[in-house]
Structure 1
Amino acid sequence: MAYLMARPLLGALNEIKLWVGVFGVANAPTTVDFSIDSVPFVPKVAGVFSPIRDREAGRPHSNYQAVFTFQARGFSQEHRIRISAGGGLEPYFLRVTSLPASVPERLKGSFKILLASCYCSVTDGVDVGRFIQGLKVKPDMALFAGDQVYLDAPAWEHLPQTEDALRQALSDKYRRNWLSEMTGGVGLQQGLSKAPAYCLPDDHEFWNNYPWSQFWKDGTQTAPTPSGAVNLWAEAARDLYADYQQGGTDPAAKTSFRLDIEPLSMLFLDMRSQRLADFKHPQGLMPAQAEADFKSWANGLINSQQKGQPRIGVLASGQTLSASAAFLDEIGDAELANYETQYRMIIDTLDLLGQHGIQVVFLTGDVHWSRVMQASNTKTSRTCLTEVICSPTSLVPTPVVDQLKKAGNVLRGVIGNRQQWPLHADPEDAPAFFGGKAFRSVEPVRPQGWRGNHVALVEFARSGFGVELKVTYYPITAPPTPESSAGPFTLLNA
């Protein structure tokens, strides 16, 4: 069956950016029409449909995507958009609210970021996409901080070893999530349309602990070919991440994105898709351009402060800053800290910001528990860094371990109360120091943490000369259970 769908992408201020996908057609549409209240809505940059790189042997492409950019009708304005592409495709409708011009005063509202990560459809008993769409609060943007798909799940699955069949199998996992509303399954489709979204990758956009091969999973090992040593899985996964999660005609996924909404200066860094299997390499985590963008973002914060226009930094990636280097780094899960050169560069840069008294909020996921912690710069003893973790939305299954946890929870119920989330881990205590002791956790060392499947709402509001930060976690349950919050925290760049 043929499908037409669209979702809003995070773009520049005063613009609407749409990813449009067409599935199950022999040829890409030659024209796409957009309208608002029957009035044509003409893109200022018309997208060009590119085949989603999931080819089948002996068949032409049947799935396509393009990105269209429009001039918004003002800041914080709802746009009710109708999309049609002919060819027997049902029109698609969606509501997109443009970004605000700036963070509002506390009495007038807040700038809201929906934060989510780690979605496995196999264990989704609630329909996470529908749950996100049903939240009464309306975020201004959404950040999906990694593992929007688990290409390596289930653990016992044997994926095809030929390139065409492998690409089809991996793309099937994307379509299950991206088209869930249309195909009647569970997935992320409705959640992806909640607000203009930016998607960062983490390891399961490839496989666990990518780029390190996993002995237990066929296909993660680099294999020789007539043109040289390649990894078919890695190449296919990188292409599909670019096609589904970022979109457009650029064959390579962009590794950074900058957006300023006064007084926030936000940078989203992909430190996974170009990661190298060399912990000492100067570009082990991200390429030189992304590193340059990171340094430019930091310099911009310092320059703004020196001009008497202080800003709050917001930085996001797919793993936590505060985790120590992993011991089983190649066969387990390497952390940012395992990559000595670039992690040191990141910490040194954030340390410099902290010495200038500049506040940074770091948004991430990955660890399968949620936590809010604050840290001070050890040279100035001033709080300068707030790390917000939200993970997972639907926990990936772990064979044998899950069965043992379920059995233990049954026994626990015999002598007391069973746990609501028996398969999930408790949030870890914040480390006393991290980043080579550049940062120290602000008391209490045990910060507020949450166990279980959640999405978070990260809110910023102006208050006096500073900005207030509040984080609210929504347990993903059916029926819904009450949310809980951390904060407000006052962020003030002196």
Structure 2
Amino acid sequence: MSFLLVPNEVASDSANLWIGVVNEGVGLSDASLMYNGNSFDLTQGWQTYRTRSGFNAVRYQHIKLQNLSPRTDYILEFSTGGKSRASGRIRTLPEELPTIFERPFNVLLASCFASSRSESILLGSSYLNLQKYHNDKTDIKILCGDQVYLDDPAVYFLKNTHSYNDLEDLLFANYVRTWTQNQFLTGFQQFLQNGANFFSSDDHEFWNNAPNRATLIRDSWRRKGRENWLEIAKNLLGIFQPRSSKPTFNVGTLSFFNADTRIDRDADRDKFMTTVDLLSIEHWVQTLKGVGVLIIGQPLFAEKAGFFGGRFGDWNLPNYEQYKDLVRILNRTNHSILVLTGDVHYGRISHCQVRPNIFIYEIISSPTALVNPLVGGSWSEAPGLFPVNSIPGTVQKRVKSDFKYKETKNHFLTLSFQKEGGKTRIVLKVCEIAGNGQMPKPVKVDEFTLF
């Protein structure tokens, strides 16, 4: 039984929030949200998702706070039954990118959180201590996939198949366990409720290598099993990790596009997103007025996965025919682009020069809590060429990886953005997840200025 308040996307004058009540029979006739002395009525608009078995249910609302002030902190408190049930905070976006003489716009980048691992509880305290004791206080968080591992533990799902009802209850329970992970001033719940979360999905919001058959997931061996799992997982994703219908947001001339390369992926390795979404990326690239930030679920600088990798691991973006179109679009940019991603269980910084003064940088941050030691602990440099295989209409470019930054421990990254003349200054710091009462120590790993 849990009450949840999770900030979603924010703008300079508004904020989207998700409020949930899980397996709790309390009345909501007097429910309200307080924020900096203001009140939002929550007595109406509740939706209910109940598993077919009837064993689990969540009542929830997606609400939007409006007429907020730019770059302002708001303290949130959800109450019902005369009691405070859940709290959180947000910071709205600045209207303009700060100059080098002002506090930078700070973005946290993270992915791959396996809540079943005992050390995963440390994420919340590391994040809160970063916010409290360091100058790297984040404005927003970008969570670019695998916020839940619905197919964990793999050994269990290799041995068992499930009816629709049993699978739905299992996946529901996994989300609840992850979203409510909480100890005193730590846990994933503390991480989520403090600061805006911009979500996108990857395979473990479904199963490893979704939507394709996975050798280690017995339910995925049959078409009906895959259909059931996809339906349930998409329902839960829409409830617990809602996304705005508008994937872009701007801070002055700095522009973000939060893409999802998993939810609409097809099984024949043709497309990893809808044609409409790809056209939206193309329009975004063509109309950039400054540096662009593209958020995707898997690395752009990658080789095709071979038969073994695709069968026992996951198909990479270059395995999809649509990858060629994405590469062509990015190569035509008139401004530098940062690609933010995760998935691979290590941190890496790589870049290539598209033409004079125009670069594509890829920043990887993964994992925050490694799902299994067998799939972590090693680092790989980016392929030497982008794209690896020649694509008509593009010229292959040399890719350089930063060998001073080879992170393989549980961590997240912060990116600080400032305006410097007509360019954007970017500073990257890594923060390893600290345990045993240790304070997080953000370490600067790179700095560059882009046009």
In the superposition, the TM-score normalised over structure 2's length comes to: 0.89
Separation in structure 2 between the aligned mates of residue 482 and residue 177 of structure 1, nearest angstrom: 25
Seen in structure 2, the aligned counterparts of structure 1 residues 160 and 430 have a Cα distance that, compared at 3 Å, is closer
Superimposed CA distance per residue, residues 19-43 of structure 1 (whole angstroms, 9 cap, x where no aligned partner):
1011123487355312235x44237
Is the Cα contact below 8 Å between 1:473 and 1:485 reproduced in 2? yes
- The residue number in structure 2 matching 1:257 is 247
Q: Within the alignment, does 1:338 sit opposite 2:319 as a pair? A: yes
Which residue does 1:407 correspond to in 2? none
Greater Rg over alpha carbons, structure: 1
With over 3 angstroms needed to count, the CA separation of the structure-2 counterparts of 1:34 and 1:58, relative to structure 1, is closer
Aligned to 2:281: 294
Q: Identify the residue that residue 130 of structure 1 maps to in structure 2.
A: 125
Q: CA deviation at 1:235?
A: 1.1
Tell me the amino acid that sits aligned with residue 52 of structure 1.
Answer: Y
Q: Counterparts in 2 of 1:175-254, with a 5 A limit? A: 175-181=176-182, 187-224=187-224, 231-246=227-242
Partner-residue secondary structure (3-state), 1:172: helix
CA distance in 1, matches of 2:402, 2:15: 42
Deviation at 1:107, TM superposition (A): 1.3
Tell me whether 1:395 sits opposite 2:395 in the alignment: no
Q: Secondary structure at the match of 2:237?
A: helix
> Contact conserved, 2:27 with 2:80, CA < 8 A, in 1?
no
The match for 2:359 is: 384
User: Which residue pairs with 2:260 in the alignment?
Assistant: 270
Q: Does 1:48 align with 2:45?
A: yes
Q: Post-superposition shift, 1:161?
A: 1.1
Partner of 1:24: 23
SS of 1:135's partner is helix
Q: Judge conservation of contact 1:46–1:69 (CA < 8 Å) in 2.
A: no
- Mapped contact 1:129–1:190 kept (Cα < 8 A): yes
Q: Do 2:53 and 2:169's aligned partners in 1 also have CA atoms closer than 8 Å?
A: no
Map of 1:173 onto structure 2: 174
Q: Is this contact kept in 2: 1:472–1:485, CA < 8 A?
A: yes
Aligned residue identity for 1:194: N
Please give the secondary structure, in 2, of the residue aligned with 1:106. Answer: coil
- Equivalent residue letter for 1:266: F
1:433 aligns with 2:385: yes
* Aligned CA distance change for structure 1 residues 444 and 452 (closer, same or farther; 3 Å): closer
TM-score (norm 1): 0.82
Q: 1:80 to 1:487 in 2, by over 3 A?
A: same
Instruction: State the one-letter code of the partner of 1:386.
Output: Y
C-alpha distance 491-84 of structure 1, shift in aligned 2 (>3 A): same
Q: Does 1:352 align with 2:332?
A: yes
Structure 1 residues 90, 425: CA separation in 2 closer, same or farther (over 3 Å shift)? same
Residue aligned with 2:287, SS: helix
Does the 8 Å CA contact 2:88/2:195 hold for their aligned counterparts?
no
2:313 matched to 1:361? no
Task: After superposition, give the CA deviation of every residue in 1:246-302 in whole Å (9 maximum; x if it has no partner).
Answer: 1xxxxxx768611111111110111101111112x3xx111122122212211222x
CA contact 1:468–1:491 (8 Å) conserved in 2: yes
Deviation, 1:46, is: 9.3
Structure 2 counterpart of 1:485, from 428, 444, 448: 444
Deviations 1:340-391 (A, max 9, x none): 2x111110000111xx3x11011000010001112111xx354411111000
Question: In the alignment, residue 386 of structure 2 is paired with which amino acid?
Answer: F
Residue pair 2:111, 2:365 contacting (<8 A) in 1 also: yes
Pair 1:240–1:396, CA change in 2 (3 A): same
Paired AA for residue 33 in structure 2: F
Kindly tell me: are residues 265 and 434 of structure 1, through their superposed partners in 2, closer, same or farther at Cα, counting changes over 3 Å?
A: same
CA contact (8 A) 1:176 1:185 kept: no
* 5+ long unaligned stretches in structure 1: 247-252, 302-309, 403-422
Distance 2:363 2:226 in 1: 37
* SS across alignment from 2:262: coil
Contact conserved, 1:256 with 1:267, CA < 8 A, in 2? no
1:73 partner letter? L
- Alpha-carbon distance in structure 2 between the residues aligned to 1:230 and 1:212: 8
Alignment of 1:73 onto 2:68: yes
Q: CA offsets per residue over residues 106-159 of structure 1, 9 Å max, x none?
A: 111211111000011222425212322221332111001110011111111146
Q: Does 2:428 align with 1:471?
A: yes
| Cα pair 1:430 1:447 within 8 Å, conserved | no
- Return the alpha-carbon distance in structure 1 between the equivalents of residues 200 and 363 of structure 2: 15
Determine helix, strand or coil for the equivalent of 1:450: coil
Check whether the contact 1:72–1:98 (CA below 8 A) recurs between aligned residues: no
Distance 2:399 2:216 in 1: 40
Please give the per-residue CA displacement for 1:65-85, whole angstroms capped at 9, x wherever unaligned: 211111243111111222213
Mark the CA change 1:22 to 1:203 in structure 2 (over 3 Å): closer, same or farther. Answer: same
Structure 1 residues 292-316: Cα deviation after superposition (integer angstroms, max 9, x where no partner): 2212211222xxxxxxxx3111100
The alignment yields a C-alpha RMSD, in angstroms, of 2.6
Preserved contact between residue 203 and residue 210 of structure 2 (Cα < 8 Å): yes
Deviation at 1:104, TM superposition (A): 0.1
The question of whether the paired residues in 1 share the 8 Å contact of 2:22 and 2:57 is answered with yes
C-alpha distance in 2 between matches for 1:23 and 1:191 = 19
Q: Distance in 1 between matches of 2:316 and 2:424?
A: 30
Cα shift at 1:443:
4.8
Write the distance in 2 (CA, Å) between the matches of 1:260 and 1:47: 32
- How many Å separate the matches in 1 of 2:186 and 2:166? 24
Q: Is the 8 A contact 1:265 1:311 kept in 2?
A: yes
Comparing 479-488 with 17-26, which one deviates more in the overlay? 479-488
Report the secondary structure of 2:60's partner residue.
Answer: strand
CA contact (8 A) 1:363 1:387 kept: yes
Pair 255,325 (structure 1): closer, same or farther in 2 beyond 3 Å: farther
Aligned to 1:415: none
Are 2:294 and 2:340, in contact at CA under 8 Å, matched by a contact in 1?
yes
**Counterpart of 2:218 in 1: which secondary structure?**
coil
